[in-house]
């Protein structure tokens, strides 16, 4: 007869496998056209693929918006070796993997030290995959750096690797993330604090990798001199409206319902935003008091908000903090705060003892599951703009031929054969 401990291990592994497969399924069914009708998204077609073809390996050293985005460049170099008809599929496949990695890693035993309850980790991972108001960061390589930042945060806090495969995974993914977006700069304080509190060979290696990437990214940002937008719109009320709208109402009711809430009189006079914000802040502060691991997440979220809201890409003619309140507008900057907020709600609702905070979190979780997630569950496919017909023409055309192909969302780019 098998020992009870063996039975528990088998049950846990089965649960982790099923939860991971569900994460893959949820990520796919929310926008299956991303893989089944893959096309370039934004910078994929405007910069990564054309520059990989024209510049080759030297494109890796070309910053974009002030910093290096190496994950995009590496995938572009691989896709440049293939016909144009295959390029977007490789981009979409890589983006899909990067998006699923954080919830899958959270489910794994490596994160048991952060959350001992496997059912809670599995539910939280599924909530990450079903997040409302995430159209901009779903299924495209250009914004995969935000998912890599979340994965890097989990790796920094996870238990030390015990196998060569785990060491390889941590090293490669942290190194890639460190030079894919500026987030290594924000993760260095987290890794340093973790190393100080729990010193180990793994924590020191992680800190060294992030510090090296942060140095490179900081030097690039300094040399390109990207400053604050002239119209930032940074006021307390604008901040509260942004957090209460895109983060709280976006998760509770879905981003498609935001115009309805914005039209309410109580929203226009800022009464409802301030009420939501204060309740949400109380819930988060209570969670930080209860669970030390959430203090790391809170610090990372605060640093992310500070960097993102002080140096976002400018919006012509409109203060940035006001423009960011529009549905599906610049949600990449608020992705990590959205993950933090939903995680706080789930952990408070399912992991805390009974209290007013737990009761409030249960109400919020019910609204998310009952309204927010269903409202934003399915991302609408774009109309067919004959990308593959044009791509076949491009692949068969003589050198020097110029062909304009569509780029999601609603744009295009002219490529030279």
**8 A C-beta contact, residue 150 and residue 178:** no
pLDDT at 259 over 70: yes
Ramachandran area for residue 225 (φ above 0: left; ψ -120 to 50: alpha; else beta): left
The SS3 call for residue 2 is coil
**8 A C-beta contact, residue 79 and residue 56:** no
The pLDDT score that the predictor gives to residue 123 is 97
The pLDDT score that the predictor gives to residue 227 is 62
The pLDDT tens digits for 334-353 are 999 999 999 999 999 999 99
The pLDDT tens digits for 50-101 are 999 999 999 999 999 899 999 999 999 999 999 999 999 999 999 999 999 9
**8 A C-beta contact, residue 299 and residue 103:** no
The SS3 call for residue 387 is helix
- The pTM of the full predicted model, rounded to 2 decimals, is 0.95
Query: What residue spans define the domains of the chain?
Result: 1-225+392-416, 230-378
DSSP symbols for 291-327:
-HHHHHHHHHHHHHHHHHHHSPPP-TTS-HHHHTTST
CA distances from 88 to 76, 267, 396, 401 (A): 9, 41, 17, 20
Q: How far apart are CA 125 and CA 19, in angstroms?
A: 8
pLDDT at 412 over 60: yes
Task: Tell me, letter by letter, the H, E, C secondary structure of 96-156.
Answer: HHHHHHHHHHHHCHHHCCCCCCHHHHHHHHHHHHCCCCCHHHCCCHHHHHHHHHHHHHHHH
Q: How far apart are CA 391 and CA 327, in angstroms?
A: 32
Q: How far apart are CA 276 and CA 240, in angstroms?
A: 9
pLDDT at 1 over 50: no
**8 A C-beta contact, residue 243 and residue 324:** no
Distance of CA 385 to the CA centre of its chain: 28
Cis peptide bond N-terminal to 409, omega within 30: yes
Q: Is the dihedral angle over the CA atoms 277, 302, 334, 93 positive or is it negative?
A: negative
What is the average pLDDT value for the chain, to the nearest integer? 93
The pLDDT tens digits for 92-126 are 999 999 999 999 999 999 999 999 999 999 999 99
């Amino acid at each position: 007869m098998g020992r009870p401990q063996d039975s528990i291990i088998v049950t846990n592994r089965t649960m982790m496998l099923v939860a991971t497969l569900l994460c893959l399924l949820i990520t796919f069914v929310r926008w299956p056209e991303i893989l089944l009708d893959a096309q370039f998204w934004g910078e994929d077609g405007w910069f990564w693929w054309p520059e990989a073809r024209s510049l080759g390996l030297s494109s890796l050293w070309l910053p974009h918006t002030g910093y290096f985005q190496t994950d995009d460049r590496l995938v572009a170099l691989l896709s440049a070796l293939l016909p144009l008809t295959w390029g977007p599929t490789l981009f979409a496949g890589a983006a899909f993997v990067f998006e699923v990695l954080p919830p899958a890693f959270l489910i794994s035993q490596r994160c048991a030290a952060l959350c001992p309850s496997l059912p809670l980790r599995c539910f939280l991972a599924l909530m990450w995959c079903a997040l409302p108001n995430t159209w901009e960061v779903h299924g495209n390589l250009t914004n995969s750096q935000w998912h890599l930042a979340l994965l890097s945060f989990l790796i920094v806090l996870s238990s030390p690797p015990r196998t060569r495969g785990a060491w390889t995974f941590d090293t490669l993914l942290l190194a890639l993330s460190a030079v894919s977006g500026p987030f290594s700069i924000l993760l260095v304080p987290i890794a340093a604090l973790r190393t100080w509190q729990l010193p180990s060979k793994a924590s020191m290696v992680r800190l060294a990798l992030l510090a090296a990437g942060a140095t490179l990214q900081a030097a690039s940002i300094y040399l390109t001199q990207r400053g604050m937008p002239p119209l930032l719109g940074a006021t307390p009320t604008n901040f509260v409206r942004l957090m209460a709208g895109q983060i709280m109402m976006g998760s509770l009711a879905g981003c498609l319902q935001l115009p309805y809430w914005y039209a309410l009189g109580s929203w226009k006079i800022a009464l409802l935003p301030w009420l939501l914000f204060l309740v949400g802040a109380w819930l988060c502060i209570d969670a930080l008091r209860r669970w030390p691991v959430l203090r790391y997440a809170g610090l990372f979220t605060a640093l992310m908000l500070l960097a993102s809201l002080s140096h976002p890409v400018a919006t012509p003619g409109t203060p940035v903090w006001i423009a960011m309140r529009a549905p599906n507008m610049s949600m990449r900057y608020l992705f990590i705060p959205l993950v933090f907020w939903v995680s706080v709600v789930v952990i408070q609702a399912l992991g805390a003892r009974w209290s007013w905070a737990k009761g409030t979190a249960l109400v919020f979780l019910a609204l998310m599951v009952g309204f927010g997630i269903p409202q934003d569950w399915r991302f609408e496919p774009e109309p067919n703009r004959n990308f593959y017909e044009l791509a076949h023409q491009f692949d068969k055309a003589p050198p020097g031929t110029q062909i304009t192909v569509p780029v999601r969302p609603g744009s295009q780019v002219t490529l030279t054969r």
